[in-house]
């Protein structure tokens, strides 16, 4: 087994209202592996992903990306190495495809670029290639609010790719898309991660999608790891225990 890209040790997240979203989660995530996190709504899946790139601060426990602990002092470095694709895309609607994709380079540039949005030619080269890779040649200067949902998610993936991350997190990336577009987006995410030998970690509700695209499946229930299996070991019994009576609705 390769050296982990991400190590999560005894992670606990307790919110001020007393809700304990994570309860002692420990995991290793590896380069070149597609890991799917399954679980009912409210199980702690999103909190887990957001803890990896520092969007959530754990109550206790630690997360490392490589040898770097995820903490306030290291967030700039961590977010250079960890890209995230969101369910709602998190694009700037009034800006062009190119501008949104180039924003993925801001974490690697200095104050002046962040202030003026004046990117060097090499960043434009990366952006043009990423836009081509996600199938949006000819749409570079279109406003993203003129694109379909599937096209907007492609822009979000291109933005993540130009970060050149070692870890790609995707939080319900196909939840708002139709089945055909969902498949295209999943194929694209896996392809982009493979090209960069990145660890790909996805929160999903669709069990059949998880079975098709995941190398490894982690079940989260009430903030704890219910199971951690290779995809071939994902049985109906495990799923029934994870989802209970809601199983049929998430297939």
pTM: 0.91
Low-confidence ranges of the chain (pLDDT < 70): 1, 110-116, 245-251
Distance between CA 152 and CA 158 in Å, rounded? 10
| Each residue's pLDDT tens digit, 154-169 | 999 999 999 999 999 9
Q: Parallel, antiparallel, or unpaired for β 34-38 and 199-203? A: parallel
Which H or E run includes 27? strand 20-29
Cβ atoms of 156 and 80 closer than 8 Å: no
Rounded distance, CA 102 to CA 126, Å? Answer: 9
68: its two tokens: 């770097």
Q: How far apart are CA 181 and CA 170, in angstroms?
A: 16
The reported pLDDT for the residue numbered 210 is 95
Instruction: Give the domain 6-250 fold.
Output: Rossmann fold (3.40.50)
Question: What pLDDT was estimated at residue 111?
Answer: 56
* Residue 87 φ/ψ, nearest 5 degrees: -60, -40
For residue 99, what pLDDT is reported?
Answer: 94
Q: Are 220 and 19 in contact (CB under 8 A)?
A: no
Enumerate residues 6+ apart whose C-beta is below 8 A from 245: none
- pLDDT for residue 75: 92
């Amino acid at each position: 087994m390769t050296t982990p890209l991400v190590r999560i040790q005894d992670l606990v997240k307790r919110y001020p209202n007393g809700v304990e979203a994570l309860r002692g989660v420990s995991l290793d995530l590896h380069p070149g592996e597609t890991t799917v996190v399954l679980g009912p709504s409210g199980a702690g899946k999103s909190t887990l992903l957001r803890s990896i790139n520092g969007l959530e601060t754990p109550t206790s426990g630690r997360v490392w990306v490589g040898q770097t602990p995820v903490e306030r002092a290291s967030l700039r470095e961590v977010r250079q190495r960890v890209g995230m694709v969101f369910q709602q895309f998190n694009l700037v609607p009034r800006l062009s495809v190119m501008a949104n994709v180039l924003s993925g380079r801001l974490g690697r540039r200095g104050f002046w670029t962040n202030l003026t949005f004046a990117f060097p030619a090499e960043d434009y080269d990366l952006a043009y290639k990423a836009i081509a890779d996600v199938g949006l040649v000819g749409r570079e200067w279109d406003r993203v609010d003129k694109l379909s949902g599937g096209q907007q998610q492609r822009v979000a993936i291109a933005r993540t790719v130009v970060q050149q991350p070692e870890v790609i997190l995707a939080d319900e990336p196909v939840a708002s898309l139709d089945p055909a577009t969902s498949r295209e987006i999943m194929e694209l995410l896996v392809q982009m991660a493979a090209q960069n030998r990145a660890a790909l970690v996805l929160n999903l509700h669709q069990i059949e999608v998880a079975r098709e695209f995941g190398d490894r499946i982690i079940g989260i229930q009430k903030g704890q790891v219910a199971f951690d299996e290779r995809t071939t070991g994902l049985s109906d019994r495990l799923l029934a225990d994870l989802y209970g009576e809601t199983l049929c609705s998430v297939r």
